[in-house]
Amino acid sequence: MSTINVLGLVLLILMVLVGGKAGLQSFLALLLNFGLLFLAIVLVAFHFPPLPVTLVVGLLVLALTIFMSSGDDLSSTVAFLASAAVLVILVLLIVPVEHWALVQGFGPEDSEDLEGLSVLIGINFVQVTTATAILSTLGAIAEAAMAIAAGLSEILEQHPQVTTKALLGDGITVGKQIIGTTFNTLFFGFFGGFLALFIWFTGVHYSFGEILNDKIFVSEILMILFAMVSVILTVPITAWVMTRAVAGQRRRAAKRSGDEK
């Protein structure tokens, strides 16, 4: 058996042992997410337009990740709507910045890997790189939205009469607690992935100015910054969606009790 299969099996067993049914569901969600990501790549390679493909795949990934983990109905729905809104805002930000920064495709550092490959493939790499940046933030958006929604739904459970205005403030408070650790997840996640590149820069003695304008470096740092923007935006948006959902619920409840009288 290959290493990758054994590692996957170990992860599956551990997730079931620790999380039971929820663990199994999370593992399935992970597998399906991988399938969706691969599907996106294949579809773009078949000349489907990259941005619409990314948006559809992105929404599916968010739905899968959020609804397949064990949360209550209210917080899952709120988390999904909020993360979908963040995804749309993020697309509106990433598209112009990627056009401006000219970081599409590959850099001179990639030339060894590109040996023997034709790069003139007729697919716009600005759009491909935009798609990559959007996809790489999906996990972070889903995680942050779920954490805030779960925190708020717990507050609602303990204080069912909390005003919507106070709830909005509570959302920011919950957000403050998670933002520090979430930033670290992003920082280490991305920097772990780029370790080799940074070692390359110091090994080949790039100057500070060269690094700051290097295609690959700028493209990677932009990805971290996009992810950070999306996590920051997720906090107030999730809190706001939660207040709308609660206000709607209360209106319906008030109407129903009014009808009964």
Partner 1 sequence: MQGLLKNRRVTLGLWLLVLVIGGLLVWGTAHNAGLYRDPIMQVTHVQTGTATKEEDDFHNVDRQTKQVLRGHILNGKYRGQKLTVTNTYSLSGAMDQHYHKGSQLFVVIHQHRASQLTATAKDAKRDTPLVFMLWLVVGLLLLIMQFSGFMAFLSVALNGVLFLIAIILNGSTQGARVLWIFGSLAVVFATLTLWLVIGANRQMLITLVTTLGGTALSLIVALLVFHFTHEKGMYYESMQYVTQLPRPLFLAETLLGSLGAVMDESTDIISSLFALKRERPELSARQVFKSGRQIGSTIMGPLINVLFFIFVADTFPMAMLYLKNGNSWGYTFSMNMSMGVVQSLISGIGIVLAVPLASYLASRFMVKKVRA
Task: For residues 190 and 133, give the distance between their C-alpha atoms in angstroms, rounded to a whole number.
Answer: 12
| Cβ distance to partner 1 smaller for residue 202 or 257 | 202
Helices then strands, counting H and E runs in the chain, come out as: 8, 0
* 114-153 binders of partner 1 (CB under 8 A): 114, 117-126, 128-129, 131-132, 135-140, 142-143, 146-147, 150
* Nearest CA among 244, 71, 77, 217 for reference residue 150: 71
| Cβ distance to partner 1 smaller for residue 160 or 203 | 203
Contact present, 156 and 162 (Cβ < 8 Å): yes
CB of 145 to partner 1, least distance (A): 9
Task: Check residue 258 for interaction with partner 1 (CB under 8 A).
Answer: no
Q: What is the DSSP string of 25-87?
A: HHHHHHHHHHHHHHHHHHHHHTT--HHHHHHHHHHHHHHHHHHTS---HHHHHHHHHHHHHHH
Member of 161, 195, 256, 261 binding partner 1 (CB under 8 A)? 195
* Angle ∠(153,157,161) on CA atoms, nearest 5: 105
| Cβ distance to partner 1 smaller for residue 234 or 245 | 234
CB of 69 to partner 1, least distance (A): 5
| Cβ distance to partner 1 smaller for residue 20 or 52 | 20
| Cβ distance to partner 1 smaller for residue 223 or 245 | 223
Task: Check residue 178 for interaction with partner 1 (CB under 8 A).
Answer: yes
CB burial of residue 43 (10 Å; 0-12, 13-18, 19+): middle
Contact present, 211 and 217 (Cβ < 8 Å): yes
Contact present, 22 and 69 (Cβ < 8 Å): yes
C-alpha 206 chain-centroid distance: 32
Task: Check residue 215 for interaction with partner 1 (CB under 8 A).
Answer: yes
Member of 188, 244, 247, 248 binding partner 1 (CB under 8 A)? 188
CB of 260 to partner 1, least distance (A): 36
| Cβ distance to partner 1 smaller for residue 162 or 197 | 197
Task: Check residue 228 for interaction with partner 1 (CB under 8 A).
Answer: yes
- Using CA atoms, how far residue 200 sits from 70, 110, 193, 220, 223, in Å, is 42, 12, 13, 14, 19
Report helix angle 125-158 to 73-101, nearest 10: 150
Member of 48, 106, 206, 240 binding partner 1 (CB under 8 A)? 106
Member of 34, 88, 252, 254 binding partner 1 (CB under 8 A)? 34
| Cβ distance to partner 1 smaller for residue 100 or 257 | 100
Question: Which window, 160-168, 195-203, 244-252, 253-261, contacts partner 1 (CB under 8 A)?
Answer: 195-203
* 49-88 binders of partner 1 (CB under 8 A): 61, 65, 68-71
Place of tokens 């520090």: 180
